[in-house]
Amino acid sequence: MNEPTKRAICIGEATVELSRGGDGRFALASSGDTFNTAIYLARARVPVAFASALGDDPFSDAIVSLAKAEGIATDLILRAPDRLPALALVDADAQGTRRVHTWREAAPARDLFELPNWGRVAEAVTAVRLVYFSGITLSLYSNVGLGRFLAAIELARGNGAKIAFDGNFRPRGWNGDLTRARTVVAEALKRVDIALPAYDDEAVLWGDPSPEATIERLQAFGIGEIVVKNGPNSALIASAGAREAVPVPDVVVPIDPTAAGDGFNAGYLAARLAGRNPMEAAGAAHQLAGEVIRHRGAIVPRAGTAVH
């Protein structure tokens, strides 16, 4: 997979995030599953762009500034006048369980492939080494947007790009419509080379009884490289006709599990792009995910995110 002349593209949404701390005050940050992965890929020195749409407000400006500071190319972030980005409010219930409340119905990221300059994004997608997106990405778009997006990644794949996908199923993003979610995700899976699902998400969306069942279902779509994340348990890899469990090297009690999967995906993809085999890449992915969960918030200090 080592093709250094081309960049990777992560496609999805970056949100304004307000997180309530232990003192009851809220801290302002930016987040988003594919945005988090783009940041960690950039920190691993992978040339990467983030494709999305934002408004022309100061909060959107701050997201773009963060991306630039992290070394992410921002030429594929479209700007929609008089629009505001999605808002995510993070707090905890009485038992301390993390809760996320989102307001994204009018966010411009939902219209990425319907805005006036959408063709510029689609054209750029067809000339990269890697396209990464998630189930949350798919949940954003209308049927028109989905058709354009899927056509773009199909062209990218035909041009030699690897297509990587994490199901990252969030029922609320689909308004509880499991039938539409399954239909859309199934269409996407026909165009995927590297699947990076979390088993608990797959169990909810598809009813998979085990990680092994997840692998078998995904292999039926012709996906040649599958890594099933399973929390503190081993990641299960299926590649080149073999299966192997790669255990978490150091199980720790997480301070905050936010973005653990996003970090895992970045660690895995960065290692694969550097020419390492899937088992070695999974080890690097575990290591990065382990660092992410040792810190609060999705984006951790730079010193804690080296990919080895």
Contacts with 262 (C-beta within 8 Å, 6 or more apart), sequence order: 33, 34, 36, 37, 40, 292, 298
Catalytic residue among 33, 201, 208, 262: 262
* Domain ranges, ordered by start, for the chain: 36-54+111-304
Q: By mean pLDDT, which of 114-118, 185-189, 200-204, 232-236 is the weakest?
A: 232-236
The pLDDT of residue 99 is above 60 = yes
Coil, strand or helix: which one is 5?
A: coil
CA 174 to chain centre: 17
Give the start-end residues of each E strand in the chain.
Answer: 8-11, 15-20, 26-31, 48-54, 77-79, 87-92, 98-103, 130-134, 162-166, 194-195, 225-228, 235-239, 242-246
- Per the CB < 8 A criterion, the answer to whether 130 and 82 are in contact is no
User: Taking residues 180-206, what's their average pLDDT?
Assistant: 98
Write the pLDDT tens digit of every residue in 2-16: 455 699 999 999 999
Class of the domain covering 36-54+111-304: alpha beta
User: Taking residues 49-59, what's their average pLDDT?
Assistant: 97
Structure tokens at 298: 């999705």
Quick one: pLDDT at residue 27? 87
Contacts with 184 (C-beta within 8 Å, 6 or more apart), sequence order: 138, 139, 146
Write the pLDDT tens digit of every residue in 241-285: 899 999 887 767 766 667 788 999 999 999 999 999 999 999 998
pTM: 0.93
Is 262 a catalytic site residue?
A: yes
Write the pLDDT tens digit of every residue in 288-297: 887 876 777 6
State how far the Cα of 301 lies from the Cα of 262, in Å rounded to an integer. Answer: 15
Quick one: pLDDT at residue 91? 83
Which amino acid is residue 305, in one-letter code? T
Length of the chain: 308
Quick one: pLDDT at residue 22? 74
The pLDDT of residue 307 is above 70 = no
